[in-house]
């Protein structure tokens, strides 16, 4: 909305109405978002991209949606501004709709979607689904919660839902839904042969006692001490359910403490889809031991009573004897070494809708702050002068002018590290920008263009080998298939840049961070600063959703160094959005050369998979050389050479029973910083394996599903494939003259986690060279389903993340570094691109839970590629499938499947 002709001057006091009351504020040239967060509180409006591209900071101005980060206060003079915290009936109705179905994951972006929905609801004409999607396309959700967000908005706007298809009697529940997403839960009562793994989780080595995990209080509640960071995956909700079900009490009686190194058990990183597989088991064993201790105490109090049990109301019952947990723990804490000879039952009353995710609802109501919202007394702000790429070195920088600014507290220069600490955020930002404008850098240059596997060079590197069987020699009885698949560097690109708060005092350092590993971060900060680890306390605070190792830990290190400049005062450091694009650890570019030797009847006699990649695991663990600030300081330690790891070889070994497999991933040190991005090396390896399976089937004129079944020996893998095909929506709406193809993909994530299958239906517009995913069916076996709704959200989010990386995400570089530094240049999935989905959860009560958070992401690209080939015979082997790349491939039309 443009300013009117009588817009007040930049230094004028501006009068406007804010959430129904008249307010005044000075500085007409200030950003509106800064004024709103100042007047209404930092939780009222979320800060996102800062350029009006993500929609996170959306508000209503005179009833119309507007982003508050890219307009000044002067533009709202004498107007009505309404924030997502408004108390009107319309806003409350919208918040209730989003809250009732947990429409979001990390929740950071959701207030912006709520604002957009309220704005649409106030329009005088009926709102269509096309209107809704067009408006939501102005917003980003990096958790991939678009299906749930669209569903909530439809309820508010009264957009008619399409009934879900009828299901079989085996389904325990079907979520009533629209055509965006539906979920089916199927119970499989098999013998539980894997209820307790042979190897106990490492968490129990670091925290082997009940009191490390659970504390019982006199009011009958139970405090769960978790070291896991809840980054939007509702892991705390699931762990609460595990503890409550094992103890036998209602889940409402169990609450999760905020992870902190002061009290939480050391659970390493919240990564690798290990939370339920490892932490869930640790919590279950701790709760089972605690339950046994309570029952033994009850028996001692009433020795003649019958067999004891625990009711949901936290009362132990033995015949006619009744003792509450509060009585049994009064003055006598529940302590002791965790027993490992007990087998958790993993029996849960799973349903698609459960009690909801309390943490998400708190965030939506503004009751829980993110690290960007913390407001301790006297808070100072810090910004850094960021080099164009991590290898650049500062030659010169003029800081004298900025040091003289009245609001600047300090400017520190240490080698290539330049920090500005100021009393307010805007001054810190302007100070860093001013110094950066005159800074001179030196360092290596890059080859301009797409940041793809060619940047890795031809070095053999170091190899991580998954299997090393002897392969058959070429001979006339075997068909030889060969293909090369590749992916570019891709970014985490959170909708708001990483931030952290630090306080440096004589007796130690405290850090509030959105980190995924409080203890590893503490170790790294100790190594960088020279402190002992016991002098540092790290508190985990929510941040905008990010799946993998982004720049959150770097922000914590910058905050620590800034706080050391001004001891005794809290300092918040935050990256600018473009800076995070430049410094974050990317998902590596990769290439896979695949050969297959196949008999005439379709038996794979040999399989060679030779991959090239950079590192996928560079998380800080106390090495002192993993974070950007350590590289920039004088006498810098330099970027470490990381070598080979299992992350680069994740899912390198096919799920299929081939006669002989040689599979390795060669790791080289490329020019860009890399680490863990959701699903790691599995994204390319599954893409290559599942694409090649279809290429073999096409070359031999076999059904691709039948080819897979012939090589599957695992019954659980067969079952997810069969269920996905059963539920696959064969009544996809017609696309006119456009051919529609079906593609499948199957894998067990990381070889020991959830089994997953995806069936994609894709329409191909040959004239326009465009692809349109119409429908995706997802079937997953993650063992015992603890939190069905949370699991479903993770699977859907993983699919959306897979779609985004399949169709658009791709970094580009020039000679100085990465140039895709905003949402205009880095293409990600938007709401209008989300197809209909059906999710099938195979619940195996009695079996241990399997990690599933990353299971669906690697399957999207191959399922879509196979559907495209099925529709028009064109094989896409390079990610992402951008319009330019699709157009080029359709025009060339030459296919060379057999070698």
Residue 163: pLDDT band by 50, 70, 90 thresholds?
Answer: very low
Q: In this structure, are strands 462-468 and 590-599 parallel, antiparallel, or unpaired?
A: unpaired
Rounded Cα gap, residues 667 and 456, in angstroms = 9
Rounded Cα gap, residues 243 and 240, in angstroms = 5
3-state SS string for 421-440? EECCHHHHHHHHHHHHHHCE
Q: Quick one: tokens of 319?
A: 């015949």
Given a contact cutoff of 8 angstroms between Cβ atoms, the answer to whether 511 and 525 are in contact is: yes
Beta bridge partners of 309: 317
State mean pLDDT over 636-646: 83
- Could you read off the pLDDT of 73-130 as tens digits, one per residue? 999 999 999 999 899 999 999 999 999 888 999 999 999 999 999 999 999 999 999 9
Q: Which residues contact 405 (CB under 8 A, 6 or more apart)?
A: 422, 427, 431
User: Which CATH number does the domain housing residue 37 bear?
Assistant: 3.10.20.30
Using a 10 angstrom Cβ sphere, with 0-12 exposed, 13-18 middle and 19 or more buried, the burial of residue 423 is middle
Residue ending a domain, choose from 556, 583, 610? 583
Q: Would 659 be classed as within a structural domain?
A: no
Residue 233: pLDDT band by 50, 70, 90 thresholds?
Answer: confident
- Lowest mean pLDDT of 159-168, 431-440, 622-631, 848-857, name the range: 159-168
Q: Which residues contact 556 (CB under 8 A, 6 or more apart)?
A: 500, 502, 511, 513, 515, 521, 525, 538
**Nearest CA to 649 among 637, 662, 636, 658?**
662
Residue with the bigger pLDDT between 490 and 448: it is: 490
- How much is the pLDDT for 863? 98
- How much is the pLDDT for 887? 85
State mean pLDDT over 519-540: 98
State mean pLDDT over 588-615: 96
For the chain, give the number of residues: 899
Rounded Cα gap, residues 651 and 646, in angstroms = 9
Averaged pLDDT score across all residues of the chain: 90
Proportion of the chain above pLDDT 90, given as a percent: 77
Chain centroid to Cα 646, Å, comes to 20
Judged against a pLDDT cut of 70, whether residue 637 lies above it is answered with yes
Residue ending a domain, choose from 564, 583, 602? 583
State mean pLDDT over 656-676: 96
Using a 10 angstrom Cβ sphere, with 0-12 exposed, 13-18 middle and 19 or more buried, the burial of residue 257 is middle
Q: Quick one: tokens of 729?
A: 């929506």
Rounded Cα gap, residues 690 and 874, in angstroms = 15
3-state SS string for 326-383? HHHHCCCCCCCECCCCCCCCCCCCCCCCCCCCHHHHHHHCCCCCCHHHCCCCCCEEEE
- How much is the pLDDT for 343? 75
- Could you read off the pLDDT of 559-585 as tens digits, one per residue? 999 999 999 999 999 999 999 999 999
Based on the fold, state whether residues 233 and 377 are members of the same structural domain. Answer: no
Based on the fold, state whether residues 279 and 133 are members of the same structural domain. Answer: no
Rounded Cα gap, residues 386 and 372, in angstroms = 20
Q: How far is CA 255 from CA 238, 329, 784, in A?
A: 11, 17, 22
Map residue 23 onto helix, strand or coil: strand
Judged against a pLDDT cut of 80, whether residue 194 lies above it is answered with no
Judged against a pLDDT cut of 80, whether residue 549 lies above it is answered with yes
- How much is the pLDDT for 608? 98
Q: Residue 61: in which H helix or E strand, if any?
A: strand 58-61
- How much is the pLDDT for 357? 64
- How much is the pLDDT for 200? 78
- Could you read off the pLDDT of 490-528 as tens digits, one per residue? 999 999 999 999 999 999 999 999 999 999 999 999 999
Residue ending a domain, choose from 344, 359, 393? 344
Residue 373: pLDDT band by 50, 70, 90 thresholds?
Answer: very high
Judged against a pLDDT cut of 70, whether residue 454 lies above it is answered with yes
- How much is the pLDDT for 730? 64
The DSSP output letter for 395 is E
Q: Which residues contact 538 (CB under 8 A, 6 or more apart)?
A: 260, 261, 510, 511, 513, 515, 518, 519, 521, 522, 525, 556
Based on the fold, state whether residues 85 and 232 are members of the same structural domain. Answer: no
Based on the fold, state whether residues 89 and 154 are members of the same structural domain. Answer: yes
Q: Would 422 be classed as within a structural domain?
A: yes
Based on the fold, state whether residues 43 and 183 are members of the same structural domain. Answer: no
CB atoms within 10 A of CB 196: 17
Residue 639: pLDDT band by 50, 70, 90 thresholds?
Answer: confident
Residue 734: pLDDT band by 50, 70, 90 thresholds?
Answer: low
Task: Residue 299: give the domain boundaries.
Answer: 203-344
- How much is the pLDDT for 208? 95
Q: Would 143 be classed as within a structural domain?
A: yes
Judged against a pLDDT cut of 80, whether residue 711 lies above it is answered with yes
Judged against a pLDDT cut of 80, whether residue 362 lies above it is answered with no
Q: Select, from the ranges 784-788, 865-869, 888-892, the one with the highest average predicted confidence (pLDDT).
A: 865-869
Q: Would 785 be classed as within a structural domain?
A: yes
Q: In this structure, are strands 58-61 and 590-599 parallel, antiparallel, or unpaired?
A: unpaired
Q: How far is CA 140 from CA 103, 149, 315, 581, 828, in A?
A: 14, 11, 47, 16, 8
Q: Which residues contact 438 (CB under 8 A, 6 or more apart)?
A: 397, 398
**Nearest CA to 46 among 510, 520, 545?**
545
* Backbone angle region of 176, left / alpha / beta, with phi > 0 → left and psi within -120 to 50 → alpha: beta
Q: Would 598 be classed as within a structural domain?
A: no
Rounded Cα gap, residues 596 and 841, in angstroms = 33
Based on the fold, state whether residues 413 and 319 are members of the same structural domain. Answer: no
Residue 714: pLDDT band by 50, 70, 90 thresholds?
Answer: very high
Based on the fold, state whether residues 326 and 377 are members of the same structural domain. Answer: no
Find the DSSP H helices in 216-340: 235-247, 281-301, 325-329
- How much is the pLDDT for 2? 46
Count of domains forming the chain: 4
Based on the fold, state whether residues 424 and 570 are members of the same structural domain. Answer: yes
CB atoms within 10 A of CB 527: 20
User: Which CATH number does the domain housing residue 432 bear?
Assistant: 3.30.365.10
Q: Quick one: tokens of 626?
A: 């993993």
Map residue 764 onto helix, strand or coil: strand
Q: Which residues contact 697 (CB under 8 A, 6 or more apart)?
A: 602, 703, 704, 706, 707
Based on the fold, state whether residues 295 and 175 are members of the same structural domain. Answer: no
**Nearest CA to 539 among 587, 593, 583, 502?**
502
- How much is the pLDDT for 896? 41
- Lowest mean pLDDT of 131-145, 319-333, 636-650, name the range: 636-650
Rounded Cα gap, residues 721 and 717, in angstroms = 6
- How much is the pLDDT for 176? 37
Rounded Cα gap, residues 515 and 548, in angstroms = 10
Based on the fold, state whether residues 33 and 138 are members of the same structural domain. Answer: yes
Judged against a pLDDT cut of 60, whether residue 758 lies above it is answered with yes
State mean pLDDT over 366-379: 89
Q: Would 647 be classed as within a structural domain?
A: no
Residue with the bigger pLDDT between 340 and 618: it is: 618
- How much is the pLDDT for 892? 76
Residue 352: pLDDT band by 50, 70, 90 thresholds?
Answer: low
Residue that is written with structure tokens 């169709």 in the block: 807
Residue 177: pLDDT band by 50, 70, 90 thresholds?
Answer: very low
Based on the fold, state whether residues 127 and 167 are members of the same structural domain. Answer: no
Based on the fold, state whether residues 169 and 286 are members of the same structural domain. Answer: no
Proportion of the chain above pLDDT 70, given as a percent: 93
Judged against a pLDDT cut of 60, whether residue 771 lies above it is answered with yes
Q: Would 117 be classed as within a structural domain?
A: yes
Given a contact cutoff of 8 angstroms between Cβ atoms, the answer to whether 465 and 663 are in contact is: yes
Map residue 315 onto helix, strand or coil: strand
Q: Would 702 be classed as within a structural domain?
A: no
Q: Residue 560: in which H helix or E strand, if any?
A: helix 552-565
């Amino acid at each position: 909305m443009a300013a009117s002709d009588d817009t007040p001057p930049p230094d004028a006091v501006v009068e406007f109405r804010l959430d129904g009351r008249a307010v005044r504020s000075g500085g007409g040239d200030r950003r509106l978002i800064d004024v709103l967060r100042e007047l209404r509180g930092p939780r009222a409006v979320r800060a996102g991209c800062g350029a009006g591209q993500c929609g996170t900071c959306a508000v209503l101005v005179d009833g119309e949606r507007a982003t508050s980060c890219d307009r000044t206060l002067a533009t709202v003079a004498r107007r009505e501004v309404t924030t997502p915290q408004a108390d009107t009936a319309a806003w409350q109705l919208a918040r209730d709709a989003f809250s009732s179905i947990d429409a979001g994951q990390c929740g950071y972006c959701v207030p912006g979607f709520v604002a957009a929905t309220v704005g649409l609801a106030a329009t005088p004409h009926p709102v269509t689904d096309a209107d809704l999607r067009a408006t939501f396309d102005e917003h980003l959700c990096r958790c991939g919660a678009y299906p749930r967000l669209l569903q909530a908005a439809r309820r508010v706007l009264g957009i008619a839902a399409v009934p879900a298809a009828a299901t079989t009697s085996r389904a325990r529940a079907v979520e009533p839904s629209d055509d965006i997403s539906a979920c089916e839960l199927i119970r499989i009562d098999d013998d539980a042969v894997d209820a307790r793994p042979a190897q106990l989780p490492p968490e129990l080595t670091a925290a082997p006692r009940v009191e490390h995990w659970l504390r019982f209080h006199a009011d009958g509640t139970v405090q769960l001490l978790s070291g896991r960071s809840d980054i939007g995956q509702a892991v705390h909700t699931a762990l609460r359910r595990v503890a409550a079900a094992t103890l036998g009490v209602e889940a409402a009686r169990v609450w999760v403490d905020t992870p902190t190194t002061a009290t939480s058990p050391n659970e390493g990183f919240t990564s690798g889809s290990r939370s339920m597989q490892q932490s869930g088991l640790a919590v279950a064993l701790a709760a089972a031991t605690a339950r046994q201790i309570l029952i033994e105490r009850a028996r001692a109090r009433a020795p003649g009573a019958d067999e004891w049990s625990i009711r949901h109301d936290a009362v132990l019952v033995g015949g006619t004897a009744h003792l509450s947990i509060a009585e049994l723990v009064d003055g006598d804490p529940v302590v002791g070494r965790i027993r490992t000879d007990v087998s958790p039952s993993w029996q849960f009353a799973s349903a698609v809708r459960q009690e909801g995710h309390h943490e998400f609802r708190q965030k939506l109501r503004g009751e829980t702050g993110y690290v960007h919202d913390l407001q301790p007394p006297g808070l100072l702000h810090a910004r850094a002068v960021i080099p164009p790429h991590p290898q650049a070195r500062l030659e010169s920088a003029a800081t004298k002018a900025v040091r003289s600014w009245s609001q600047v507290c300090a400017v520190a220069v240490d080698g290539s590290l330049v920090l500005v600490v100021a009393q307010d955020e805007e001054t810190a930002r302007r100070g860093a920008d001013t110094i950066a404008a005159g800074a001179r850098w030196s360092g290596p240059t890059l080859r301009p263009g797409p940041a793809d596997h060619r940047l890795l060079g031809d070095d053999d590197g170091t190899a991580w080998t998954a299997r090393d069987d002897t392969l058959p020699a070429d001979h006339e009885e075997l068909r030889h298939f060969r293909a090369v698949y590749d992916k570019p560097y891709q970014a985490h690109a959170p909708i708001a840049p990483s931030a952290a708060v630090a306080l440096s005092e004589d007796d130690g350092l405290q850090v509030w961070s959105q980190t995924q590993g409080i203890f590893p971060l503490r170790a790294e900060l100790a190594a960088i600063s020279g402190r002992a680890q016991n002098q540092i306390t790290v508190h985990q605070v929510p941040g905008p959703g990010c799946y993998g190792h982004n720049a959150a830990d770097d922000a914590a290190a910058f905050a620590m160094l800034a706080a050391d400049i001004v001891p005794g005062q809290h300092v918040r450091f935050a990256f600018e959005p473009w800076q995070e694009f430049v410094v974050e650890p990317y998902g590596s570019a990769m290439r896979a050369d695949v050969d297959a030797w196949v008999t005439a009847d379709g038996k794979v006699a040999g399989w060679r998979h030779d991959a090239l990649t950079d590192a996928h695991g560079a998380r800080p663990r106390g090495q002192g050389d993993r974070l950007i600030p350590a590289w920039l300081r004088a006498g810098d330690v330099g970027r470490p050479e990381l070598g080979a790891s299992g992350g680069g070889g994740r899912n390198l070994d096919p799920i299929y029973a081939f006669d002989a497999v040689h599979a390795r991933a060669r790791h080289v040190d490329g020019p860009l910083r890399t680490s863990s991005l959701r699903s790691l090396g599995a994204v390319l390896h599954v893409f290559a394996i599942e694409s090649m399976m279809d290429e073999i089937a096409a070359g031999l004129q076999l059904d691709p599903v039948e080819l897979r079944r012939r090589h599957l020996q695992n019954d659980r893998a067969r079952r997810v494939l069969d269920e996905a095909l059963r539920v696959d929506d064969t009544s996809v709406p017609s696309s006119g003259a456009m051919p529609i193809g079906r593609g499948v993909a199957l894998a067990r994530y990381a070889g020991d986690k959830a089994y997953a299958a995806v069936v994609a239906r894709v329409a191909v517009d040959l004239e326009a060279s465009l692809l349109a995913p119409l429908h995706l069916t997802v079937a997953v076996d993650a063992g015992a389903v603890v939190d069905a709704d949370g699991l479903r959200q993770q699977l859907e989010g993983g699919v959306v993340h897979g779609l985004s990386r399949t169709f658009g995400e791709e970094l580009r570089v020039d000679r100085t570094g990465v140039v895709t530094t905003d949402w205009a240049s880095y293409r990600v999935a938007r709401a209008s691109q989300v197809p209909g989905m059906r999710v099938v959860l195979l619940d195996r009560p009695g079996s241990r839970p399997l990690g599933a958070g990353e299971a669906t992401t690697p399957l999207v690209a191959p399922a879509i590629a196979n559907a495209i080939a099925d529709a028009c015979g064109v094989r896409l082997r390079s990610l992402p499938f951008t319009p330019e790349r699709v157009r080029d491939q359709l025009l060339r039309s030459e296919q060379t499947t057999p070698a």
